Structure 1
Amino acid sequence: MAEKLEDLNLPNASVQKIIKEALPDTVNIGKDARSALSRAASVFVLYVTSQASNEAQKANRKTLIGQDIITALEELEFENFIEPLKDILKEFKDSKTKKSNKPKKLNEEENDGIEGEEDDETEEPMEDV
């Protein structure tokens, strides 16, 4: 658990990046506004996480899953976030599936000498004991 209230804040660099991507290049934002947005984002994340944790506990789980977050957003009446979140979860699951189904390739150095080369050692038949 966090020792200080500030430990619960999101990293300023991450919040700054999100703000920069959301606003046009012509808009500047003051330090106090960045700080307020950072704190508001942190409170939002804690709020949704708390509700999602309740959902996991209802299902006798200790691990939060994506569906817990979706259910929490529904219960907290943040319906606008549900469809984008579902899309992101689907993309994540698809990319995870593609990675696990992708055959591992040998690079050229590892592949050198493998094709067509026979082992010098021959297997000896096992003796009956």
Structure 2
Amino acid sequence: MSDKDFSGNDDLSLPKATVQKIISEILPQVPHDASAAGRDGEMTFTRPARDLLISCSLEFLRMLSSESNDISERESKKTISVEHVEQALTDLGFGSYIEGCRGVVGEWQEVQKKRVGRGEKMRNFGGFDKMGEEELRKMQEALLGEARGRMEGQNEPHGE
């Protein structure tokens, strides 16, 4: 693992609401002793336990990021790839996480395929995609003319 110092990043954190949501979604799935559970039979997290979980998660992310960066640098790459992260997980002893991570990457790739890009949104905006370039240019000139007229009207002295 890298010996990089992260003490300057003490202000890093994870959104507490997001962490609480993750905890709330995961706890019901974890088998537990009903006699140790709260009033309604569900386990809960105390605030200090949640803060500890956040600290541990941040440390894990720091270690993984640092190791991934080191692997990328050894390969003279400027960008950390999925393969670098997978190798870092293996090197840090978390190789069993790789399959789950691949599933998440696959889901993300599917979402990205379905996402409409900004350029596509602009082309289809308000039906303007069906207009010709000349027609669009005339509309633009008319709008600029209106804007100039308003600007000139503001600069004229009032009451004359």
Q: Given the two structures, how large is their TM-score scaled by the length of structure 2?
A: 0.58
Cα drift, residue 18 of structure 1: 1.4
Match of 1:18 among 13, 16, 22: 22
Q: In percent, how many aligned pairs have the same letter?
A: 26
**1:20-59 correspondence runs (5 A):** 20-24=24-28, 26-59=42-75
Q: Distance in 2 between matches of 1:10 and 1:52?
A: 20
1:68 alignment counterpart: 84
**1:42-121 correspondence runs (5 A):** 42-99=58-115, 104=120, 106=124, 110=127
Deviations for 1:26-65, whole angstroms, at most 9, x for unmatched residues?
Answer: 2121111111111011101111111101111011122212
Instruction: Check whether the contact 1:56–1:64 (CA below 8 A) recurs between aligned residues.
Output: yes
Query: Compared with structure 1, are the counterparts of its residues 70 and 100 closer, same or farther at alpha carbon in structure 2 (3 Å cutoff)?
Result: farther
Q: Gaps (5+ residues) in structure 2?
A: 1-5, 29-39, 136-160
Query: When you count helix as a share of all residues, which structure comes out higher?
Result: 2
Q: Distance in 1 between matches of 2:79 and 2:48?
A: 36
Root mean square deviation of aligned Cα? 3.1
Pick the structure with greater CA Rg: 2
Deviations for 1:9-29, whole angstroms, at most 9, x for unmatched residues?
Answer: 322222222111111282121
